[in-house]
Chains A and B, each alone.
Chain A
Amino acid sequence: NAGVTQTPKFQVLKTGQSMTLQCAQDMNHNSMYWYRQDPGMGLRLIYYSASEGTTDKGEVPNGYNVSRLNKREFSLRLESAAPSQTSVYFCASSRMGTGAGDTQYFGPGTRLTVL
């Protein structure tokens, strides 16, 4: 039982390049989330998927797209990377997304640098 896994762990991109961050969970959770964490800013929600087949914007969605590929996998795509997207990205999952204060389980993060 690996929990939430993220790939890659580290990535360096040049401005304008694209990439996809992968996330998978093996806990049969319904809801999945993508956050970014920046120094002095805390964790901010980029996109979330309350259930398979649905996705919604969070606080900071500009410059990102997501795909809920199936119940296990939720990917985050940067179409044209910008230096402002340099950050640590965390994927999380929870059993249900009903606003009940369910536990979110976080992956280990992807450290992205955009030059």
Chain B
Amino acid sequence: TQLLEQSPQFLSIQEGENLTVYCNSSSVFSSLQWYRQEPGEGPVLLVTVVTGGEVKKLKRLTFQFGDARKDSSLHITAAQPGDTGLYLCAGVRGNNRLAFGKGNQVVVIP
């Protein structure tokens, strides 16, 4: 059973366009993390959101945690080819265990 559902699974856009991907769950998490993974490498943490309704910005990336702490979104403004990658959301459980979604594969075409 996948605790976290990410949509869309695959997204291809032109450079300069905006995009939003989603991470949804029926479970409540104490916090949620977003990672980015590039081919042949391990995931790298982008952000941790803790409070319901929280919005965090990382340059052109905006992360939002739902009010009920069950869902999250990632919005990229003016996407660039360097944003290409697999974006993974992960719910944080006891002992810092992470429950990952399957990921959003984003391809930005120059």
- On A, residues with C-beta under 8 Å from B are 4, 31, 33, 35, 40-45, 48, 50, 56, 58-59, 90, 92, 94, 96-109
Contact = CB atoms under 8 A, between A and B. Distances in A.
A106 B100 contact: no
B50 interface: yes
A43 B96 contact: no
Interface residues of B, number: 26
A101 B97 CA distance: 9
B44 A106 contact: yes
12 contacts: A41-B102, A42-B2, A42-B88, A50-B95, A90-B43, A99-B93, A99-B94, A99-B95, A101-B50, A105-B45, A106-B42, A109-B42
Contacts of A102: 96
Given A101-B30, A104-B45, A109-B41, A94 B96 contact: yes
Interface in B45-72: 45, 48, 50
A104 B2 contact: no
Interface string B85-98: 00010101111111
A45 B98 contact: yes
A97 B95 contact: yes
A58 B45 contact: no
Contacts, number: 73
A58 B97 CA distance: 8
A28 B88 CA distance: 26
A106 B43 contact: yes
B2 A103 contact: no
Contacts of B44: 106
Contacts of A50: 95-96
A105 B2 CA distance: 23
Given A43-B90, A45-B98, 10 more contacts: A42-B100, A43-B43, A43-B100, A97-B95, A101-B50, A101-B96, A103-B45, A104-B45, A105-B45, A108-B41
Nearest to A38: B102
Contacts of A31: 95-96
